[in-house]
Amino acid sequence: MKIAVIGADGQLGSDLMKILKDHELMPLYYPTFDVTKPGEAKKILSKLKPEIVINTAAYHRVDECEDNPQESFRVNSIAVRDLALICLELDVVLVHFSTDYVFDGKKKNPYTEEDVPNPLSVYATSKLAGEYFIRNILDRYFLIRTCGLYGEAGCWGKGTNFVDIMISLEKKGQSLKVVNDQWVTPTSTAELADRIEELIQTNHFGLYHLTNQGQCTWYEFAKEIFSLLGKKPDIVPVDTETYGAKALRPSYSVLENKKAKEIGLTDFSPWKEALKDYLIRKGYLK
């Protein structure tokens, strides 16, 4: 298949480039390809003629988005609408990524695709608006909500990812304060990319929750990283209020891969296994 990958050097984008290597790939890099410039984006995509466009671009510095709602909506909503319109016109399948943060966290058991979102932050609201544009404009789309991504390339939008930050802070001997009242599912971009490869071979279009299995708090995630590395740094569990981040986040945003199971997609591994695999691939662990 001819596949264009927007944000091909990002955390998820670079794993997609590896996993999809047997396809005819068209990597698109910012700022040469900018989703917020629909005229140019359309010209490039019209020339390339992909069958599938995968959009990993996002403005996802969650706290920064609170101060920059215009930019947040420009990248996460309006640009996504424009991209969906381009895909409609060019008859291209769109794969797009959204977030567990579209939920408010009040449910306390895993959210399925049927649960009603109620975003708490500018970032989450702008991502949800992007979702709605895709669902309104296109029939042939895969819209993937995922959670707590970490991958070998590190998250470009945030400069790094949670695992690498924890390891580097510990190396510098800095104190580690980690939130212990927000429940998530850490998810490996390598494994997510693998499932995307499987999903795009189907015509089961629609909204999907795709994460590794299980759940933990960010504090428990940090503890597991160091437990696997055989280290015992002093990690202080803190609550959300004490941590004092600007944007509100759901206290529980675990997603159930309900629809993926229904269509028979390969199960994700438990998050601890995926983490171990990441630490080995990244050379932290032999």
Ligand X SMILES: NC(=O)c1ccc[n+]([C@@H]2O[C@H](COP(=O)([O-])OP(=O)(O)OC[C@H]3O[C@@H](n4cnc5c(N)ncnc54)[C@H](OP(=O)(O)O)[C@@H]3O)[C@@H](O)[C@H]2O)c1
| Active site positions, annotated | 123
Kindly tell me which residue out of 5, 6, 87, 200 binds ligand X, with binding defined by CB under 6 A.
6
Nearer to ligand X, 179 or 234 (CB): 179
How does DSSP classify residue 26? E
Nearer to ligand X, 154 or 233 (CB): 154
Listed ranges 26-34, 218-226, 228-236, 250-258: which one lies at the site for ligand X (CB under 6 A): 26-34
What backbone torsions phi and psi does residue 4 show, to the nearest 5 degrees? -95, 130
Nearer to ligand X, 83 or 286 (CB): 83
Ordered alpha helix ranges (H), the chain: 11-19, 38-48, 62-67, 69-73, 79-90, 122-137, 162-171, 189-199, 218-228, 240-243, 258-262, 271-281
The least distance separating ligand X from the CB of residue 258, rounded to whole angstroms, comes to 17
Kindly tell me which residue out of 33, 208, 218, 278 binds ligand X, with binding defined by CB under 6 A.
33
What's the rounded Cα separation, in Å, for the pair 265 and 259? Answer: 9
x-or-dash string of contact with ligand X, 121-150, rule CB under 6 A: -------------------------xxxx-
Listed ranges 51-59, 106-114, 194-202, 263-271: which one lies at the site for ligand X (CB under 6 A): 51-59
Radius of gyration of the chain (CA): 18
x-or-dash string of contact with ligand X, 53-92, rule CB under 6 A: ---xxx-x--------------x-----------------
Nearer to ligand X, 180 or 187 (CB): 187
CB neighbours of residue 80 within 10 Å: 28
Using CB under 6 A as the binding rule, whether residue 36 contacts ligand X is answered as: yes
What's the sign of the alpha-carbon dihedral 96, 102, 108, 111?
A: negative
Using CB under 6 A as the binding rule, whether residue 213 contacts ligand X is answered as: no
DSSP 112-142: PTTSPP---SHHHHHHHHHHHHHHHH-SSEE
Using CB under 6 A as the binding rule, whether residue 105 contacts ligand X is answered as: no
CB neighbours of residue 146 within 10 Å: 23
Using CB under 6 A as the binding rule, whether residue 120 contacts ligand X is answered as: no
Displacement of CA 278 from its chain's centroid (Å): 16
Using CB under 6 A as the binding rule, whether residue 160 contacts ligand X is answered as: no
Listed ranges 50-58, 112-120, 246-254, 267-275: which one lies at the site for ligand X (CB under 6 A): 50-58
The least distance separating ligand X from the CB of residue 57, rounded to whole angstroms, comes to 3
What's the rounded Cα separation, in Å, for the pair 84 and 92? Answer: 9
The least distance separating ligand X from the CB of residue 200, rounded to whole angstroms, comes to 16
- Per CB under 6 A, which of residues 221..280 are in contact with ligand X? none
- 8 Å CB contact between 257 and 142: no
CB neighbours of residue 248 within 10 Å: 17
Kindly tell me which residue out of 2, 48, 90, 156 binds ligand X, with binding defined by CB under 6 A.
156
CB neighbours of residue 259 within 10 Å: 17
Interaction site with ligand X (CB under 6 A): 6-7, 9-13, 30, 33-36, 56-58, 60, 75, 97, 99, 146-149, 155-157
